[in-house]
Copies of this chain bind each other. A is one copy, B any other.
C-alpha cells in the first residue's frame, strides 16, 4: 500500500477519521460498523466504505472495522509512524501557544526551535523551546532534519519568509499568517485562516437576527 496512490481529497479526510478512531480507541471500542461510524461522524456509510476501501478495505462484511488496526493503518498513511521535526517562525503569542500545544507532541510532532527577529526574544526559552535568530534559519533547518515549518509572523513578513524557507529546503509549510501563501508544486502548504473561520460565525449571527 503506497500513500501516493490515494487522491488528495481522500487524504484530506484522513485526519478526521484518525481523530474519531483515536476517540473510539480511548473509549475501549474494539470494532465499529460503517453504519455506526457514519452516524458518529455525520458522513454517509457509503462514503466511509468508499474512502476506506481506497486503501485496501480494512472492513469485513458483517464484522465492521477493527478500530485499533484501522487507527494504525491510517496513522501510517498520515506519516504518523515516523517522527516529524518542526520549527516555529514567529515567537509571538500564537507561535508560543502552538509551541505549548500537547496535542502536537502526543501525535509525534517535535518542535525543535522557534525563530524571531526580536533581540529581546532571541535566546529565551518558551515552553522549553529556544528562540533563535532568523539568521540561523538556514543552518538549523539543514542540521536538524526539519520537515515542517510553521509560519506565525505578521502578514507583511509572511511571503519573504516563505521564500527563504523553500530556499532552505522546507517542503511543508503550516501558515497562520492571514494571507494565502503561494508555493511551487513540490511544496505543501496548509493555510489556516483563523479570521475566515470566525467570520462564518459573525455571519450566522446576522442570519439568526434576520430570521
Contact = CB atoms under 8 A, between A and B. Distances in A.
A104 interface: yes
B206 A188 contact: no
A97 interface: yes
A207 interface: yes
Given A147-B205, A178-B103, A14 B199 contact: yes
Size bin of chain A's contact surface: 35 or more
A98 B173 CA distance: 21
B195 A103 contact: yes
A202 interface: yes
Contacts of A97: 92-94, 96-97
Interface stretch (A28-36, A56-64, A73-81, A113-121): A73-81
B12 A202 contact: no
Counted per complex, copies of this chain come to 2
Nearest to A171: B208
Interface string A190-211: 1011111111111111111011
B178 A201 contact: no
A27 interface: no
Given A92-B97, A107-B199, A172-B204, 15 more contacts: A4-B211, A14-B203, A15-B195, A19-B179, A78-B202, A84-B202, A93-B100, A103-B194, A103-B195, A147-B202, A148-B198, A171-B208, A172-B202, A173-B201, A188-B205
Interface of A: 2-4, 11-12, 14-16, 18-19, 23, 42, 77-80, 82, 84, 92-94, 96-98, 100-101, 103-104, 107-109, 127, 147-148, 171-174, 178-180, 186, 188, 190, 192-208, 210-211
A19 B178 contact: yes
Given A15-B193, A101-B194, A195-B15, A3 B203 contact: yes
A79 B206 contact: yes
B103 A202 contact: no
